Amino acid sequence: MLALEGIRVLDLTHLAPGALCTMILGDLGADVIRIEAPPSVGGRGAGLGTSPTGNEGRKRAAFDALNRNKRSLGLNLREERGREVFYKLTQTADAIVEGFRPGVVKRLGVDYETVKAINSQVVYCSLSGYGQDGPYSKFSGHDINYISIAGVLDLIGQSEQPPVVPLNLIADFAGASLHGVIGILTALVTRSKTGKGQYVDIAYSDGAMSVITWFISQHFSNGALFQRGSTWLHGAYPYYGVYEAKDGKYVTIGCVEPWFWENLCRALGKEEYIPYCISPEHFLHKPEGDKWTEISSFLKQVFRTKTRDEWFDFLSQKDVPVGKVYSLDEVFSDPQVLHRQMVIEIEHPTVGKVKQPGIAIKLSETPGKVRRLAPLFGEHTEEILQELGYTKPQIDELRQTSVIG
């Protein structure tokens, strides 16, 4: 048994953050149906994030982890009969996830109020940049815009340098994808108590702010501003930072707690540095005094005397928080990553063995599972329509008139 077995999710998303949200639900057992517009529909976003087609697309689909554990239904929601199919599907759904700009699903006739009238138990989740209301709700945007509005971007980078643009991990994936999963699961738990569904409004920008809750709390408490590049969290202090090793690779040190810093100092034969550990004022400003410069200089020099892996093997045995900075291709042979099954190998009928990221949520009784690889476009259209009671002649007619694909 899988944790979300019996839960059906209709996936109207077309970008990676939405796909990750529904992937997680699928990994945990939900029957996720991707509803994708046929290529003939056109429009500015035509083909954006759409499942691949044909034999050439099979390899791409095999490695597309974001859309594993999903079925693909090619459906033109701009056509009345396409919406009729969607409404029938809605009667069988537990959750619907969409990622359009506010107002689009209403124009298509697949918004929450319409769906609620058909199935009051549906949990309907919208992922949008700034949420469904407010002065920015209709604005376009991307991760970089949302994290700038949320106060995140100003905190990333070096002192007296422009902010450093991170990968789109904060607003897109932490802010939208993960908060979306939490919102949907919370609403499903509530439904089990009340029998009613509800609307889940997830904003990328809200989620980005949520991620920095600790920093915001400190600001409201004591006015802390956390100047970019100036605190221990930015690597401004030597006990928390990145150091180049002998082989040109990098090692990370996270000796925030005084006892870990003491372990590092003893391991390096520098007991006199032990008193120079974390202090409350390190949250607010850069290191002050020649001793900090001396310690930083020493650490930079000493870490160049061994390779990255030598330092990791040595310091991890001294109970020092140490990490190897991996390039992406190195991650997949790390013993901890392999032990945690965060790299999995799956047999594909035509492509052969393919590797994908594993399932991060570990459940003891109902663990997640990759039951199917990502679909080709419309691969399950006929199968899904037959489940809804459509006959073969009806399906053929809908296909001929481009209602389905």
Q: What is the CATH number of the domain that holds 305?
A: 3.30.1540.10
At 179, the amino acid letter reads H
pTM for the whole structure: 0.94
Residues 186, 104 share a domain: yes
pLDDT score recorded for residue 48: 67
pLDDT (tens digit per residue) in 347-374: 988 889 999 999 999 999 999 999 999 9
52 or 392, greater pLDDT: 392
pLDDT greater than 90 at residue 46: no
Residues 238, 195 share a domain: no
Q: Is residue 21 a part of any domain in this protein?
A: yes
DSSP-derived pairing of the beta strands 70-74 and 31-36: parallel
Average pLDDT over residues 37-41: 83
pLDDT score recorded for residue 1: 93
Last residue of one domain, picked from the residues 267, 295, 324: 324
Which 3-state string (H, E, C) describes 340-354? CCCEEEEEECCCEEE
pLDDT greater than 60 at residue 45: no
Q: How many residues are given for the chain?
A: 405
Given the residues 142, 309, 313, 396, select the one marked as catalytic. 142
pLDDT greater than 70 at residue 403: yes
Instruction: For residue 186, give the nearest of 95, 113, 115, 267 by alpha carbon.
Output: 95
Residues 276, 159 share a domain: no
Residues 130, 32 share a domain: yes
In the chain, the number of structural domains is 2
CA 382/CA 145 separation, integer angstroms: 40
Model confidence at 223, pLDDT cuts 50, 70, 90, reads confident
CA 241/CA 236 separation, integer angstroms: 8
Average pLDDT over residues 245-270: 98
142 part of the active site: yes
CA 110/CA 238 separation, integer angstroms: 54
Q: Which of 35-44, 65-74, 220-229 has the highest mean pLDDT?
A: 65-74
Average pLDDT over residues 275-279: 96
Q: Is residue 219 a part of any domain in this protein?
A: no
Residues 192, 239 share a domain: no
User: Two tokens at 381?
Assistant: 């259209």
Q: Is residue 56 a part of any domain in this protein?
A: yes
Range of the domain at 384: 8-211+337-400
Q: Is residue 220 a part of any domain in this protein?
A: no
Model confidence at 55, pLDDT cuts 50, 70, 90, reads confident
Place of tokens 């999903």: 70
Given the residues 172, 179, 234, 380, select the one marked as catalytic. 172
Check which CATH number belongs to the domain holding 164 and give it.
Answer: 3.40.50.10540
pLDDT score recorded for residue 196: 97
pLDDT score recorded for residue 47: 60
Q: Is residue 95 a part of any domain in this protein?
A: yes
Q: Is residue 363 a part of any domain in this protein?
A: yes
Residues 294, 153 share a domain: no
Residues 12, 144 share a domain: yes
Residues 63, 204 share a domain: yes
- Determine the straight-line distance between the first and last CA of the chain, rounded to whole angstroms: 32
Q: Is residue 68 a part of any domain in this protein?
A: yes
Q: In whole numbers, what is the pLDDT of the chain averaged over residues? A: 95
Residues 182, 40 share a domain: yes
Q: Is residue 82 a part of any domain in this protein?
A: yes
pLDDT (tens digit per residue) in 74-131: 999 999 999 999 999 999 999 999 999 999 999 999 999 999 999 999 999 999 999 9
pLDDT score recorded for residue 43: 58
Residues 131, 205 share a domain: yes
pLDDT score recorded for residue 283: 87
Average pLDDT over residues 34-52: 77
Last residue of one domain, picked from the residues 275, 295, 324: 324
pLDDT (tens digit per residue) in 280-330: 999 888 999 999 999 999 999 999 999 999 999 999 999 999 999 999 999
Model confidence at 42, pLDDT cuts 50, 70, 90, reads low
Residues 288, 182 share a domain: no
pLDDT score recorded for residue 224: 82
DSSP-derived pairing of the beta strands 322-324 and 240-244: unpaired
Last residue of one domain, picked from the residues 263, 297, 324: 324
pLDDT score recorded for residue 247: 98
Residues 239, 193 share a domain: no
